[in-house]
Amino acid sequence: MTAMVPSILPPLLLIGPLAVALFLLTLPWFRESLPEAFATDKGSVTLLERIHLGSVGYVFLLSIAALIQVLSSGAIAAFGDWLFVDALGAVFMMLIGVVGLMTGLYSIAYIRHDLESGAIDAGKVRIYYGFFSLFLFTMLLAVTANNIIMMWAAIEATTLGSAFLVGLYGQKSSLEAAWKYVIICTVGVAFGLYGTVLVFSNAADVLADPHQAVLWTALVGHAAELDPMLVKLAFVFALIGFGTKAGIFPMHAWLPDAHSEAPSPVSGLLSGVLLKCALLIVVRFYVITVGTVGTGFPQMLLLTLGVLSVGVSSLLFFVQQDLKRKLAYSSIENVGLIVVALGVGGPLGIAAALLHAINHSVTKALFFCSAGNVLMKYGTRDLRAVKGILRVAPATGLLMMGCALALAGFPPFNIFVSEFMVFMAGLNEGYGWIMALCALFLCITIAGLVRIVADSVLGKSPETMAKGDVGWKALAPLGVLAVLVLTLGFAVPQPLSTLVQQATTVVMNGDSRPVVAAPWQQYDTVRAGGQLVTGSLSQTEISK
Amino acid sequence: MNGFLIVNGLSGLLIVSSLLVTLAGNPANSARFYALQSFILVMLFVALAGATGSGELYLWSFTALLTKVILVPAIMYRAFRRLSDPAIGTGAVMPTALSIVGAAVALILCFVVASKVTLPAADAIKPALAVSLALFFIGLACIVAQRNILKQVFGYCLMENGSHLTLALLAPNAPELVEIGIATDAIFAVVVMAALGSRIFDTLHTLDARQLTSLKG
């Protein structure tokens, strides 16, 4: 592993949202000393919104700055290497920055609507924005942690930080969802702790300095010296533990409840970013395990759980009538597909998994926020009651249609590009029948998505429903996400493909540069003499 | 060698105390038994520190005394004392005898797994290692086979004690910060669970996990 460049950016990135969260959550104590304009309910909400916007903007700018530094000078580190951002972590840090900003902007309109409709009061607005920043902080901590115990603590903290967001509305169903979320994830992540403890104890025995045994970078370097039995056990525990948080079947039970009961911007953040952060930790353990026992054991586990996740969730997705629960099952399916790609392995499989994580994150955040618009307009998530969105709210209808087509994996949307890569990787590595099975399950999902478009987006709207879309503040951030979904569907931008290649190198623990591009871009890559490891559309591959 | 004998002996008491936590009649009593178990754990840490000559472990014992024996049980006792739902009784899904047999089976299985660990550090303390793993699974069983949501919180605490013991047994020289990180996180987890549990009781007037079934499908 090359030396890491010291940088102030990782701690700076963390301190902003943490400070905002602590300030907002302790605000009642300061309220008396605030200027008069902010002392009323309305004034205080305006103040909260400004602070919140500052927080998400700060996280966005700093994460992009850190990303640029990682791309230009390699992994960066701080605090005696306890914090670090390598290319792999940078992928997920970027997701937190971008999706955090967009769902953060969308929150303004959404929470105002909730406030006006009486679903929450001004006090809850403070709780919401405070925990929103805290949630961002805990996820950033998880992706910038090099200390494996801190990684675990951060993932545990994401649950604790977001539980109150899930239960924000304080109704029977939301409290129930919050309780299941906390119990299932905390217990799941306790497995993660056991796995972490096993790896650490093992390494502390092998490495001369126990302080090094706690660092992921040191563990990867010495993985070959660890005890195979303990590492296998640790991987199983870590996969169960962090897999619970990532929503992998059969540990996914919390996910549909939490995603459907949380306010929509938070659902977008949970599905778009949190699941991926937990997957990052699974990947980090995967790298250690491969170093100790080779690829066979971890890949077999990943493939099994991945295919099961895709299969079970596609069926549950199809029969579900609650829009947000439906989307939640789709998230399990996509996480399953990412896990399948990891299980397929090889540079192309890993790159496909990472690209699909990015694409799904953007698309699902957009879909959940669009569903939020539907909820604002119709006041229900029941698809039997939501009809004719396109007539009632044309922009939202268009967004919903775009999201459904994108999620179905149609070109020219981004999911097509990464799903195509996943299938190419699977076929190249000789997992034809597994890919065929996945394709079959994806067809069921497509049928479910077509139903959303046909019935809910295009169908006949209720006659009593007033026409007119939600305000521009709710639509603008979704417009930006939609542009991203389309742009990434036309072509993978060069900096992004470089980032994914570098991240793949981290996972493969050796230089490997698979082609990360849309199928139609790959002819250019071949012509330009790009290095093709596997999965290109070169003549030899086609003849295979 | 005597030090390790004490360690292995004390670990047996941990199994007994974990059963007391699981089978106690109400959450407030579970909190008392949990404090007892944590105290045994602290004694075990001290014995292990003596046997291995690890300075860090003495520090651990001290922080564990503060957090696990005093702070966490106090938080739970205060939060849970006023909450009671007579409708669910002890909340246990299985008969007591079956729970004890289950714990014994878990312990035997964990002995089999622990016997396969080849780490030199684990040689003298394999019985305790098996107990630490069993403690983890007894905690899990306490959550799965319990209707009272407050007692489910204790299940998590037992799991956490199990992980903590494994860490102490296999890596007695682990930096103190590692241990503080785990302990702090566990405190926050218990606080959040206690807060949520109280809100559920205030809103829904029940502690029964089987009543929390409006979300399905």
Residue B154 tokens read as 């204790």
**Highest-scoring range by mean pLDDT, A431-445, A451-465, A526-540, B82-96:** A431-445
Residue in B closest to A182 by C-alpha: B193
pLDDT at A463 over 90: no
Nearest to B189 among A160, A172, A198 (CB): A160
* Per-residue pLDDT band at B213 (split at 50, 70, 90): confident
Question: What is the H or E stretch that residue B206 is in?
Answer: none
Q: Which pLDDT score, from 0 to 100, does residue A542 have?
A: 39
The band of A39, judged by pLDDT with boundaries at 50, 70 and 90, is low
- CB-based contact B156 A200, cutoff 8 Å: no
The position carrying tokens 């890491």 is A4
| A164, A177, A202: residue with CB nearest B119 | A202
Looking at residue A217, its amino acid is T
CB contact (8 A) between residue A233 and residue B120: no
A146: confidence class by pLDDT, cuts 50, 70, 90: very high
Q: What are phi and psi of A147, to 5 degrees?
A: -75, 120
Rounded CA-CA distance A188/A177 in Å is: 16
Which of A177-191, A328-342, B121-135, B175-189 has the largest mean confidence? A328-342
Residue B4 has pLDDT above 70, yes or no: yes
Instruction: Name the residue type at position A80.
Output: G
The answer to whether B180 faces chain A, any CB pair under 8 Å, is: no
Please tell me which residue, B84 or A340, carries the higher pLDDT value: A340
Mutate to test the interface with B, among A194, A214, A318, A327 (most CBs of B within 10 A): A194
- B83: which chain A residues are within 8 Å (Cβ-Cβ)? none
| pLDDT at position A526 over 60 | no
Nearest CA in chain A to B211: A176
Cβ atoms within 10 Å, residue A22? 14
pLDDT at A536 (0 to 100): 42
Angle in degrees, CA A386, A444, A276, rounded to 5? 85
pLDDT at A533 over 80: no
Q: Is residue A403 domain-resident?
A: yes
| Beta bridge mates, A437 | none
What phi and psi values does residue A322 have, to the nearest 5 degrees?
Answer: -90, 120
Does residue A261 sit within a domain? no
Number of H helices, E strands in chain A: 22, 3
- Mean pLDDT lowest among A8-22, A158-172, A272-286: A158-172
The answer to whether position A63 is within a domain reads no
The structural domains of chain B, with segments of one domain joined by +, span 2-211
pTM of the predicted model over 0.95: no
Per-residue pLDDT tens for B44-74?
989 888 888 888 888 888 888 988 899 989 9
Is the CB of residue A74 less than 8 Å from the CB of residue A5? yes
Share of chain B above pLDDT 90, in %: 11
Is residue A414 in some structural domain?
Answer: yes
pLDDT at A523: 66
A375's CB contacts (< 8 A; 6+ apart) are A264, A323, A324, A381
- Decide if pLDDT at A538 tops 70: no
Question: Looking at the domain assignment, is residue A496 inside a domain?
Answer: yes
Flag if A190 and B120 touch (Cβ within 8 Å): no
Q: Does the distance separating the beta carbons of A180 and B166 come in below 8 Å?
A: no
Q: Which of A36-50, A352-366, A431-445, B177-191 has the lowest mean pLDDT?
A: A36-50
Q: What is the pLDDT of residues A186-216, one digit of tens each?
A: 999 989 998 998 899 889 888 878 778 889 9
Written as one letter, the residue type at A430 is: G
Q: How far, in Å, CA of A448 to CA of A462, rounded?
A: 22
The residue of chain B nearest to residue A226, with distances taken between CA atoms, is: B119
Give me the number of domains chain A comprises.
Answer: 1
The reported pLDDT for the residue numbered A29 is: 62
Chain A residues close to B162, C-beta within 8 Å: 194
Could you say which residues from 303 to 322 on chain A have a Cβ atom under 8 Å away from some Cβ of chain B? Answer: 316, 319-320, 322
Cβ of A201 within 8 Å of Cβ of B166? The answer is yes
C-alpha to C-alpha distance for A193 and A237, rounded to whole angstroms: 8
Chain B contacts in chain A segment 386-425 (CB below 8 A): none
Q: Domain range spanning residue A358?
A: 354-544
Percent of chain A with pLDDT over 70: 93
Query: Looking at the complex, does the CB of residue B154 fall below 8 Å from at least one CB of chain A?
Result: no
pLDDT of A470: 85
| Residues B156, A186: C-beta atoms closer than 8 Å | yes
Mean pLDDT, residues B95-121: 80
Q: Is residue A543 part of a domain?
A: yes
**Identity (one letter) of the amino acid at B84?**
S
Mean pLDDT (chain A, rounded): 90
- Model confidence at A123, pLDDT cuts 50, 70, 90, reads confident
pLDDT of residue A509: 86
Residue A152 placed within a domain? no
Angle at A13 between CA A11 and CA A17, to 5 degrees: 110
d(CA B8, CA B11): 5
* Contact residues, A window 15-44, toward B, CB-based 8 Å cutoff: none
CB contact under 8 A, A187 and B182: no
Q: Please tell me the distance from the alpha carbon of residue B209 to that of residue B197, in angstroms, as a whole number.
A: 11
Q: Is A138 on the interface with B (CB under 8 A)?
A: no
State how far the Cα of A249 lies from the Cα of A338, in Å rounded to an integer. 13
Residue A534 reports pLDDT greater than 50:
no
pLDDT for A350 beyond 50: yes
Q: Go through A420-458 and write b for each residue having 16 or more CB atoms within 10 A of its CB, e for each that does not.
A: bbbbbbbbbbebeebbeebeebbebbbebbeebbeebbb
Chains A & B: contacts with CB separation below 8 Å? 134
pLDDT at A541: 42
Closest CA to B196 of B148, B150, B141: B150
B198 touches chain A (CB under 8 A): no
Length of chain B, in residues: 217
Binary contact (B185, A230; C-beta < 8 A): no
Q: How many Å lie between the alpha carbon of A460 and the closest alpha carbon of chain B?
A: 27
Q: Out of B178, B188, B213, whose CB is closest to A160?
A: B188
Maximum mean pLDDT: which of A30-39, A166-175, A326-335, B160-169: A326-335
Tokens encoding A461:
């709207």
CA distance B186 to chain A (A): 9
Q: Which of A113, A99, A83 is nearest to A10 (CA)?
A: A83
The alpha carbon of residue B7 is apart from the nearest alpha carbon of chain A, in Å, by 18
Higher pLDDT among residues A430 and A524, named by residue = A430
Hey, are the CB atoms on B215 and A179 less than 8 Å from each other? no
E strand or H helix at A66: helix A41-73
Among B54, B196, B200, B202, pick the best mutation site for testing chain A contact (most A Cβ within 10 A).
B196
Express as a percent the part of chain A with pLDDT over 90: 73
Cα distances (angstroms) measured from residue B67 to each of A192, B12, B74: 21, 22, 10
Q: Does B2 touch chain A (CB under 8 A)?
A: no
Tell me: pLDDT of A544 over 70. no
Looking at residue B184, its pLDDT comes to 83
Q: Which of B54, B115, B151, B167 to mutate to test the interface with A (most CBs of A within 10 A)?
A: B167
Q: Which residue has the tokens 């992004």?
A: A496
pLDDT of residue A314: 96
Task: Walk across the sheet containing A5-6 and list its strands.
Answer: A5-6, A76-78, A83-85
| Residue in A172, A233, A261 nearest the CB of B204 | A172
Give B 111-150 residues with CB within 8 A of chain A: 113, 116-121, 136, 139-140, 143, 149
- Rounded Cα distance, B4 and A147, in Å: 30
Q: Between the CA atoms of A21, A22, A24 and A29, what dihedral angle is there, to the nearest 10 degrees?
A: 170
8 Å CB contact of B199 and A160: no
Q: Does B217 touch chain A (CB under 8 A)?
A: yes
pLDDT at A36 over 80: no
Distance of alpha carbon B168 from alpha carbon A108, whole angstroms: 47
